[in-house]
Structure 1
Amino acid sequence: ELSDESNTADWLAYGRTHSEQRFSPLKDINVDNVRQLKPEWYAPLPDRSDMVGTPLVVDGVMYYVGEMNRTRAFDARTGKKLWEYDPQVSKEILDNNMKKVFWKHNRGLSTYGDKLFIATWDGRLIAINRKDGKEVWQTRTFDHDQPLNITGHPKAFDGKVFVGNGGTELGPMRGYVTAYDAETGKQVWRFYIVPGNPADGFEDAAQEMAAKTWSGRWW
């Protein structure tokens, strides 16, 4: 489980566990023998830039996301590539030059049950089968023409997948966090982190409270 800090067999999340400390409690490698480390295998990757994600390791399989959310699975012991999945990010935003900035990079995957989850730069949340890399579902988290993007990794727990967005520096948009059902991709809820136009009413009490700190041209 992602909350199990004692699990040393897997690397289940962006920062290993939900605490995201990136700290492994393994003790076999130490200051006395670290110099003996050597490559066991390597796999050439066609991606040449923007590698900012953390590979996941689940049940002896390593999952890695490269440029434009291309996802690959390797046997962690042999380095054999098991499958590859390409969400076709370049085709999705072929006609949108504004989005062709930093469009190659992504901070990683999330896993829950038998699925991996990818959040693409162009705003899709995609679930793929961990065993064979086949797409299970995909949903669009914001409209294609909105000045938003996603570079962060989604989080998954309690049967849900959570994802936010970036890009509000490119246009007057409201940031938010959305929860989707891990099995179906159906939206469960959405929480805005800033209030909207008071004339349209508020989604919840938190937005109404926050709106009291806004005034004038900020609307």
Structure 2
Amino acid sequence: MVSALSRRSALLGLASGVLGFGAVRAADSADSLGDSGVRSDSGTGTDLDWPMARYDAAGTGYDPDASGPKDGVRVKWRREPETFFGGTESPILSGDTLYATGRVLLALDVATGETRFAHEGSYRSSPARTDAEAYTTDTLAVTAPAGVFGLNAGGGIRLFDREFGVERWHGPGRESRFGVFGPPSAVPPVAADGTIYAAIPGTEHVVALDASSGRKRWRRSPGDELRRPAVADGRLFAVNWPHNTTAYDAETGERLWQAELPEQMVLPPTATGDGVVVPDRTGVTALNATDGSVRWRFDHGGNATEGAAAVAEGRVFVQSAGSDGALHALDLETGEQYWSAPVRGEGTPVVADGVVYARAYNDLVAVDTEDGTVRWRYDSRLPLSTPAVGDGVLYAVAHGRIVALEEDR
């Protein structure tokens, strides 16, 4: 008869052996894994990715190859998984797998909405997917009260009703504290060139971590109330309360410049080809990437406390808030307004195939990028996240619910 100690040792040894073999096999056979892999033969015919919140490290919210519903909308599928308690953090898309976080890491089949795997954890932010040299599956970076985590995009291995190999590394952090405007929100990390850039929860620091190991490359302290950073062309742009926008060398963490904006409430930046666009409570400012000098400013007169700007095909799309709130389209070079559309509310628009999608309280609104014509409105009855855009479909989260929206044919 095997003792409890030897039985436990045997199980641990078996688990270690399976992990050592399965870490490679699980990824190498991802196309045939179904529920446990990143991809399967689901017949979706899509290879589009929306790898992080706002699509890319620059935060543009624009994938030139993606498309969503244009002339009408209907629900393709809707799911309310028992283990999912998400708020309005954006999901991300990797081929035929959709990932969402809400006290679990949840992976869904994009065609059906069926759950592929769910891993429990206090994950709060949208994930950022990146290649990881040390692994054959991708890494998903998320932030949680305890810090930054690197998770296995393939879901690890389930053995004897336990999961192994999901959490790959745990980066710096500490328990969240209250900031100037209440408890901090989940600030999503960004991924660029094998590096994860993240605002460390509960601190005034931004950090660069190796995507494979979680090893710290550099750490800096821009200030309080950090937002999602933007990374492009070797520069990282960080904003914080009050007033500040700071540029760092993305490789070394060297501070390049710091600019002060007129408003205390500074919202997440968007990096462009030669500058950075920074919304704030009453308007949006375009700064020069090399020295932080002001290129132009547009005052919308609103009272925005959240949201970021999308940048697509030479235009900036930004929402104001308040009773006269609107969605504004601006020229990226001059800040001149092309049009404003009656989209009252605040949030982060995204753009695909000539349409900009923006939140308006409980509505998701599709607006023509050329002239601001409202194409359709969808009432979700709950505030939706900023959507991820795929091959003709929008994916969004709304307080425990995940929904896929397609063209109403």
* Corresponding residue to 2:241 among 42, 55, 67: 67
Q: SS of the residue aligned with 2:132?
A: coil
Q: Show the 5 A alignment for 1:49-64.
A: 50-51=225-226, 53-64=227-238
Q: Structure 1 pair 65/29, CA: closer, same or farther in 2 (3 Å)?
A: farther
* 2:40 pairs with 1:13: no
Give the aligned residue type for 1:127.
A
- State the Cα deviation string for residues 21-67 of structure 1 (Å, max 9, x = none): 3432312254676475332221123x23x22x211111221111111
Q: Show the 5 A alignment for 1:104-123.
A: 104=265, 106=267, 108-121=268-281, 123=282
* 2:343 pairs with 1:193: yes
1:151 equivalent in structure 2: 306
Residue 61 of structure 1 contacts residue 76 of structure 1 at CA under 8 Å; is this kept in 2? Answer: yes
Q: Structure 1 pair 17/158, CA: closer, same or farther in 2 (3 Å)?
A: closer
Query: Could you tell me how far 1:140 is from its partner in structure 2?
Result: 0.9
Q: Structure 1 pair 62/17, CA: closer, same or farther in 2 (3 Å)?
A: farther
Q: SS of the residue aligned with 2:334?
A: coil
More helix by percentage: 1
Q: SS of the residue aligned with 1:62?
A: strand
Residue 62 of structure 2 contacts residue 310 of structure 2 at CA under 8 Å; is this kept in 1? Answer: no
Aligned residues: 168
Where in structure 1 do 4 or more consecutive aligned residues deviate above 6 Å?
14-20
Q: Show the 5 A alignment for 1:130-149.
A: 130-142=289-301, 148-149=303-304
Residue 69 of structure 1 contacts residue 118 of structure 1 at CA under 8 Å; is this kept in 2? Answer: no
Q: SS of the residue aligned with 1:116?
A: strand
Structure 2: where are the runs of 5+ without partners? 1-47, 67-89, 93-126, 136-151, 153-164, 171-212, 345-371, 378-409
Structure whose CA Rg is larger: 2
- State the Cα deviation string for residues 175-200 of structure 1 (Å, max 9, x = none): 31010111111110010136xxxxxx
Q: SS of the residue aligned with 2:215?
A: coil
The percentage of aligned residue pairs carrying the same residue is 22
* Corresponding residue to 1:43 among 200, 216, 220: 220
Q: SS of the residue aligned with 2:219?
A: coil
Q: SS of the residue aligned with 2:242?
A: helix
1:88 equivalent in structure 2: 262
Residue 112 of structure 1 contacts residue 157 of structure 1 at CA under 8 Å; is this kept in 2? Answer: no
Give the aligned residue type for 1:87.
L
Q: Structure 1 pair 115/206, CA: closer, same or farther in 2 (3 Å)?
A: closer
Q: Structure 1 pair 41/188, CA: closer, same or farther in 2 (3 Å)?
A: same
Q: SS of the residue aligned with 1:89?
A: coil
* 2:360 pairs with 1:183: no
Query: Could you tell me how far 1:112 is from its partner in structure 2?
Result: 2.3
* Corresponding residue to 1:23 among 118, 122, 128: 128
Q: For 2:240 and 2:232, locate their aligned partners in 1 and report how far apart those are by CA, in whole Å.
A: 18
1:95 equivalent in structure 2: none
Structure 1: where are the runs of 5+ without partners? 91-103, 195-203, 211-219
Residue 14 of structure 1 contacts residue 109 of structure 1 at CA under 8 Å; is this kept in 2? Answer: no
Q: For 1:69 and 1:39, locate their aligned partners in 2 and report how far apart those are by CA, in whole Å.
A: 28
Q: For 1:205 and 1:129, locate their aligned partners in 2 and report how far apart those are by CA, in whole Å.
A: 31
Q: SS of the residue aligned with 2:256?
A: strand
Q: SS of the residue aligned with 1:24?
A: strand
Q: For 1:29 and 1:154, locate their aligned partners in 2 and report how far apart those are by CA, in whole Å.
A: 35
- State the Cα deviation string for residues 92-113 of structure 1 (Å, max 9, x = none): xxxxxxxxxxxx452x111222
- State the Cα deviation string for residues 64-98 of structure 1 (Å, max 9, x = none): 111134111111222110011111324xxxxxxxx
Q: For 1:205 and 1:160, locate their aligned partners in 2 and report how far apart those are by CA, in whole Å.
A: 16
Q: For 1:117 and 1:205, locate their aligned partners in 2 and report how far apart those are by CA, in whole Å.
A: 24
Question: Which structure is richer in relative contact order (CA contacts within 8 A, separation 6 or more)?
Answer: 2
